[in-house]
Amino acid sequence: MSGNLDDFIELDRTFRDLSISDEHGDEAKMVRLFTREASTRWADLLAEPRVILLAEAGSGKTEEIRHICRRQRAEGKPAFFLRIEHVVDDFETSFEEGDLEEFEAWLKSCDQGWLFLDSVDEARLRAPKDFERAIRRIGRRIERALQRTHIIITGRTEAWRPETDLILCRTYLSWDASAKAPDEVPAPQGEYAVAAEQAAKRENKHAPFRIVTLEDLHGARVKTFAIAKGVADIKAFTKAVERAEAWSFTTRPLDLAETVEFWNDHQRIGSRFDLMTSSIAKRLEERDQDRADARPIAVDRIREGARLVAAATTLCQESTIRVPDGDKNALVSDRK
């Protein structure tokens, strides 16, 4: 994966299902399901009526769904990539693949379509309720096409509220496996014909929403990515990673890109401290130029803030941080 769309690296990513833990409400956690079944691939997910793709920052989920959307469009299928955070203000400007005119033409047709919605966490940066508002609005726009729409929503795992977000999506992006399609709507063909059957068979009270996460990069995928990023001697690179016990820095595209960059600059992997220091320096830089221009902050100030947050979490022995969020904090207060 790469931030530059023209440099997308095809890695044939795989997925694993997630399940909600036994805890109640939005304090529940998403738990990865380990089964003997083969890993899920994009062909499987595209056949599903509803998919929630949750993964950590740097896992490549945005680049993946944009690439898949482009591939669908290249094959002549109605597919659209939308930024959820823009839907509330202006539905038309939320399209980054496809446009409103194509979208409206598809709604008037009888064809199946694919909506790729990115992302839950970005939608909540400005206001906690923006995600809810966006889902309501999208649901109203496609109300008459819900049964022929495949929807993939992305987000960071920690941004997804297992209880309320799922209820919200099931309410406004509903899909009924037992519903009969109108006569004028052609039945799904090929690989997509399995969508209704899979949803009906899945013994999951949260169906038709299938919640998945991206699997880590390993083996051949790491090598493919590194070579594409300019590593000339892949054997020397992998041996150096192994000697440094730095495989944890290669499991996500963002981490691997930083490790490869360090290698290309120094022709060594360095210690874990070297890699971590280099990674922190890069992540303190704002990647979004629009945000950087709108809210410029001195690097020294950002670094000092990061140090204070790190010190606080270490001294308080807390691995997570609750940010201002009226709804979620209210739930905690009520339980107290």
Angle, helix 130-141 to helix 164-172, in steps of 10 degrees: 20
Written as six digits, the tokens of 185 are 């709507």
Given this model, what pLDDT does residue 16 score? 94
pLDDT bin (cut points 50, 70, 90) of residue 90 is very high
Q: What is the pLDDT of residues 208-246, one digit of tens each?
A: 999 999 999 999 999 999 999 999 999 999 999 999 999
Burial class (CB in 10 A: 0-12, 13-18, 19+), 68: buried
Torsion of CA 201, 202, 206, 211, to 10 degrees: -140
Return the domain boundaries, the chain. Answer: 5-214, 219-315
DSSP SS3 for 63:
helix
> Does 5-214 carry CATH code 1.10.1740?
no
95-97 and 79-83 strand pairing: antiparallel
User: Could you tell me the pLDDT band of residue 333, with boundaries at 50, 70 and 90?
Assistant: very low
Report pLDDT digits (tens) over 175-217.
998 775 444 445 556 555 555 555 445 445 567 999 999 999 9
Which residues contact residue 330 at a Cβ distance below 8 angstroms, ignoring those fewer than 6 apart? none
pLDDT digits (tens, 9 = 90+) for 123-164: 998 888 999 999 999 999 999 999 999 999 999 998 999 999
**Residue 113 · residue 49 · CB < 8 Å:** no
